[in-house]
Structure 1
Amino acid sequence: MSVTQQYLLDVHRARRLGEPAPPAPGLNDWQVVRELRDRRRFEAVLAGRPARGRLRHTLRRWLHRRPQPGH
């Protein structure tokens, strides 16, 4: 059963029982992504790491790495 079919079944069941319909699939995806990002930033601050720009800093460090002797 697909997600859409399950959602339609849940909406039908909710209507029959007089309950509020469940949220549509994917409706809150961006909110979840934002909350995960905020949580990671919060944990970084608690651990004493920079909360922003960590990915850019890491990529810059990898791209500008000095060649090691013998490689």
Structure 2
Amino acid sequence: MSVTQQYLLDTYRAAQHGEPAPPAPGAHDWQVVREVRDYGRFNAVVRERPARGRVRAAVLRYFRVLRGGGARTPRPLP
């Protein structure tokens, strides 16, 4: 059964019982995305890690290693 079929069945049952219709599929997707982001930030703070910029820093580290620039070599003395 697809999501649309389940929604239509739930709407029909709600109408038969005089209850309010359930929310349409996808109505609260952005709210869920925000809550997942906030949960990740909360866990980062609890684990004493930076709450912002973690993904960008990880991607930059990954590409730096791929380019071979992960570790800097000291400059030669004059």
TM-score, normalised by the number of residues in structure 1:
0.86
Aligned to 2:53: 53
Helix, strand or coil at the partner of 1:24: coil
Aligned to 2:35: 35
**Mapping of residues 1-71 of structure 1, within 5 Å:** 1-65=1-65, 66=69
**Residues of 2 paired with 1:55 and 1:36: CA distance?**
14
CA RMSD of aligned residues (A): 1.5
Matched-pair contact (CA < 8 Å) for 2:14–2:20? yes
Question: Unpaired segments of 5 or more residues in structure 2?
Answer: 72-78
Q: How many correspondences in the alignment?
A: 68
Q: 1:49 to 1:17 in 2, by over 3 A?
A: same
RCO greater where, 1 or 2, for CA within 8 Å and sep 6 or more?
1
**Residues of 2 paired with 1:46 and 1:6: CA distance?**
39
**Runs ≥4 residues deviating over 6 A:** none
TM-score, normalised by the number of residues in structure 2:
0.79
